[in-house]
Amino acid sequence: MRFTGPTYLTQRSFRLVALVTFIFASSLSSCSSSLEEELAPTKPKENSSVDVKDPAKGSGSDAGQGTSGQSGEGEGSSGEGAAGSGEGAAGSGEGGSGSKDGAEDGKEPASDPAPTKPGTPATTPGAPATTPGAPVTTPGTPATPALPAQPKPATVVPLKSAFDFPVGAAVVKELLEKPEYANTVSKHFSRIGSESDFKWGSVHPSKDKYTFAKADAVVAFAQKHNMKVHAHTLLWAHDGNEPKWVKEFQGDAAAWEQLMKDHIYTVVKHFKGKVQSWDVVNEPIKEGGVYTNSIWYRKLGKDYIIKAFKFAQEADPQAKLFLNDYGQEYGGKKMKELLNIVDEAKKQGVKIHGMGFQLHTVLRMEAKPIMTNLKLAADKGLLIHISEFDISVKYGMPATFQLSDAMNKAQGEKYKEIVSGYMKVVPKSQQWGITTWGVSDKTSYFNKGYPNSDHDYPLLFDRNYQPKEAFYGFLNAGLGK
Ligand code: XIL
């Protein structure tokens, strides 16, 4: 279905778009690692998980059925195109009320992600999709509004220089060996994370074996360049993401708890004093406030989350510990349940210091509800980390989609709006910072390992590591321009 409304989405449409964002983030999260194209240019795209990654399956009415996130990945979920085809995809997302998780669990989550302010405009404020005379990029796709370019300093100043809080990038260890990548990271970012080098499968590939070389290299890079480290993640609540040996582990609840404790103790202690903050549990809650049906949930019940925080705290009392998730920036039961976990932990004497909002977002999504929910978490006294920030522009576009000048500028404005909003609604003392999920569009995880998905442009630097409008939008938020 095409969206033809002028500047406002209907409440239903908005909810649908929010839902498709959940679904999108969910499915992206579950992708298996693929070697960076840059590192293995001749390696054909790995489509081993094509069932959950085929964008084609994500469009249309299948979008809500377990593959919908892939619509987000390849063809859909983001960008201006969403104004045109997003509703169709989102609508089917709601119809299916599904996500990969729903399919995985065999049960449907309540369709929940209602915006906090129904009826608020879904287009970028000041950038209505229907600006008269705005250029239409592709026949059949909506107009991208003509926005001015970002003001630019005479020379490219380090992004980090404009902010009091850490500006982070999640890196890939192997890419740090590439000078243009490493130079961009060290020049512009004051904190480093890793897309996958701290995950269970990377550091603990079998029961009695820990392999820290990659994560150690990331930490060494940070130390060399005087950067902080935020590590991601001790547990990832999706079954698809913990290693096979863990899922096949046999034992009673006490043995499972011991397994989790050993992992957390060993990993956190290894990095004690070098890693300032951790994502302790990633993506524990799904749409509708339902607990992700992970191996940890099945074996230990929902208290596994609080136990994980307790173990991390014991292992490194100085580290700041985060509950990280996607889509809660649109509120609803998911956000509510995450806050319940924080309260429950407090009752049990366990501190959850902060909340990570992944914010894999899409160009057309409105920033206002995001701010409402950042504030909601900040009002609890939590540190707030935008932990996996990027703005996809490809939704609804053909596989060969190229970034237009108008979209580039609209993306710059969106970056500025979200970063300025964060600075406004989160008190300074709670601004744990903003981390982008990657560095250059060339190696963004949006552009890896998925069929037809190598033409997205979600990040601050282009494929030649040149700053985009997105970079200047982010920078200008810090400079107050
Ligand atoms: C992704 C990495 O970027 C990919 O390289 C890897 O193949 C799969 O995981 N949300 C998360 C991250 O919390 O862990 C995911 O990272 C991206 C979505």
Residues 6+ apart with CB under 8 A from 117: 368, 369, 372
DSSP code of residue 71: I
Kind and range of the H or E element at 277? Answer: strand 277-282
Helices (H), 351-456: 368-378, 405-425
For residue 297, count other CB atoms closer than 10 A to its CB.
18
* Ligand 1 atom at minimal distance to the Cα of residue 233: 14
pLDDT of the chain along its 481 residues, tens only?
A: 232 222 223 333 334 344 444 444 444 444 333 323 333 322 222 222 222 222 222 222 222 222 222 222 222 222 222 222 222 222 222 222 223 333 233 232 223 332 222 222 222 222 222 222 333 333 334 566 678 999 999 999 999 999 999 999 999 999 999 999 999 999 999 999 999 999 999 999 999 999 999 999 999 999 999 999 999 999 999 888 889 999 999 999 999 999 999 999 999 999 999 999 999 999 999 999 999 999 999 999 999 999 999 999 999 999 999 999 999 999 999 999 999 999 999 999 999 999 999 999 999 899 999 999 999 999 999 999 999 999 999 877 887 888 999 999 999 999 999 999 999 999 999 999 999 999 999 999 988 755 556 789 999 999 999 999 999 999 999 999 9
Alpha-carbon gap, residue 353 to 158, rounded angstroms: 29
386: helix, coil or strand?
A: strand
Helix (H) and strand (E) counts in the chain: 18, 9
**What's the CA-to-centroid distance between 435 and ligand 1, angstroms?**
13
Model pTM? 0.77
What's the rounded Cα separation, in Å, for the pair 96 and 64? 4
Domain boundaries, the chain: 159-479
Distance CA 129, CA 133 (A): 11
Residue among 307, 318, 291, 170 at smallest CA distance from 232: 170
Residue 199 CA, ligand 1 centroid: distance in Å? 10
Show Cβ contacts of residue 254 under 8 Å, excluding neighbours closer than 6 positions: none
Distance (Å, whole) CA 317 – CA 268? 10
CB 427 within 8 A of CB 114: no
Residue type at position 358: Q
Catalytic residue positions, numbered: 283, 388
Name which residue sits closest to atom 10 of ligand 1, judged by CA: 29
Ligand 1 centroid vs 406 CA: distance in angstroms? 29
Return the structure tokens found at 455.
């033409």
Closest atom of ligand 1 to CA, residue 34:
7
Residue 314: closest CA among 252, 346, 267, 360? 267
Tell me which residues have their CB closer than 6 angstroms to ligand 1. Answer: 28-29, 31-33, 195-196, 282, 358, 388, 445
Which residue type is seen at 347?
A: K
Hey, whose CA ends up nearest to atom 11 of ligand 1? 29
Ligand 1 centre to CA of 29 (Å) is: 5
Q: Nearest CA to 175 among 184, 167, 165?
A: 184
The DSSP annotation for 114-166 comes to --SSTT---SPTT--TT-TTPPBSSTTSPBPP--PPPP--SS---GGGG-SS-
Q: By alpha-carbon position, which residue is closest to atom 12 of ligand 1?
A: 29
Cα 5 to averaged position of ligand 1 atoms, centre (Å): 34
What is the tens place of the pLDDT at every residue in 8-26?
Answer: 233 333 343 444 444 444 4
Alpha carbon of 122 to ligand 1 centroid (Å): 27
**Looking at ligand 1, which atom is closest to the CA of residue 279?**
13
- Paired tokens of 62: 């299948």
CA-CA distance, 306 to 320, in Å (whole number)?
Answer: 14
Q: How far is the CA of 461 from the centre of ligand 1 (A)?
A: 19
Q: Please give the Cα distance from 206 to 335 (Å, whole number).
A: 34
Nearest CA to ligand 1 atom 2: 195
The residue whose CB lies within 8 Å of the most ligand 1 atoms, and thus the one to mutate among 388, 439, 443, 459, is 388
Closest ligand 1 atom to Cα of 360: 18
Residue closest via CA to ligand 1's atom 7 equals: 33
Closest residue by CA, ligand 1 atom 5: 33
Direct distance between the N- and C-terminal alpha carbons of the chain, in angstroms, rounded to an integer = 38
| CATH (one of 3.20.20.80, 3.40.50.10860, 3.20.20.70, 1.20.1250.20) for 159-479 | 3.20.20.80
Query: In this structure, which residue's CA is closest to atom 18 in ligand 1?
Result: 29
Atom of ligand 1 nearest to the CA of 32: 7
